Amino acid sequence: VGKDVRSYRKIWEDLETLKATPAIKAGAQFAVLDALCKKLDIPPYQFLGGERDEIETDKTIGIGKLDEMVEEAKEIGKEGFRVIKVKVGTSVKEDVEKVVRIQEAVPDVELVVDANQGYRPKEAVAFAREIYKEGVKVKLFEQPVLKWDIEGLRFVRYNCPYPVAADESVFTRYDAYRLVKEDCVDYINIKLMKSGLLDALAIVEIAKSANVKLMIGCMGETSLGISQSAHFAGGLGAFSHHDLDSHLLIKEKEFRGRFKQEGPILKLY
């Protein structure tokens, strides 16, 4: 309170010292950035680099009965989404059937499979190889093993036919540095609500320096939270995949995002 938002980096650093959850810090940091952008009369994505004024997101299928998930995939395809995210990680056999059926229902769509730490390393490889044999088009395989199992993550990466992404394994720049140094991943998933803006910016540079691709994701965020991540991603233009769809799964009284959604496209303003 009472600080000049033009000193935004110093304010961000001060916020990092507070005893608060990363999501609270991230929200406060972006509020400072938003205030500065209003003062300058520019949208946040332009302040952050202005690389893109729109981004394309995937859409996640809710967990349910197999037939219901297949029908949901068909509806998502009709909405124009070119990438669908599917949650796996419970049973290799059931997950293979689920993913194969979904791909058959939407053959022109790429899939992201997210295990949310659900597999042991050898299970993850077995799952990936089986769906690969079935011709499933997977853009990336997200967090196949427990977040602390760095050896397991590397094992999956070296034995998996698809690119491997780390999500829960990366909260800070130090996490990202370790994974890059130990050659564990093809992608790093940045979420502002787990890293805050300072660490997120640092992770971007670490990944770029190591030729590791980036994706941007979200928690269970409203349009306001998604707006922050969308402007961050658009401004930097550093992300090969965008997973910013949680607002589509939430009933909001008021839409508060600084973007217009047209199918999978988020147009920033």
Give the sheet arrangement for strand 259-262, strand by strand.
Answer: 54-56, 265-268, 259-262
User: Is residue 126 a contact partner of residue 93, using CB atoms and an 8 Å limit?
Assistant: no
Which candidate, 187, 155, 151, 152, places its Cα nearest to that of 170?
187
Measure the CA–CA gap between 133 and 24, rounded to whole angstroms. 44
181 in active site = no
Catalytic residue among 59, 87, 139, 194: 87
The whole-angstrom separation of Cα 110 and Cα 79 is 14
Mark whether 87 is an active-site residue.
Answer: yes
Catalytic residue among 25, 59, 191, 194: 191
Kind plus residue range of the DSSP H or E element containing 60: strand 59-60
Q: How do 259-262 and 241-242 pair as beta strands?
A: unpaired
- Residues taking part in catalysis: 87, 191
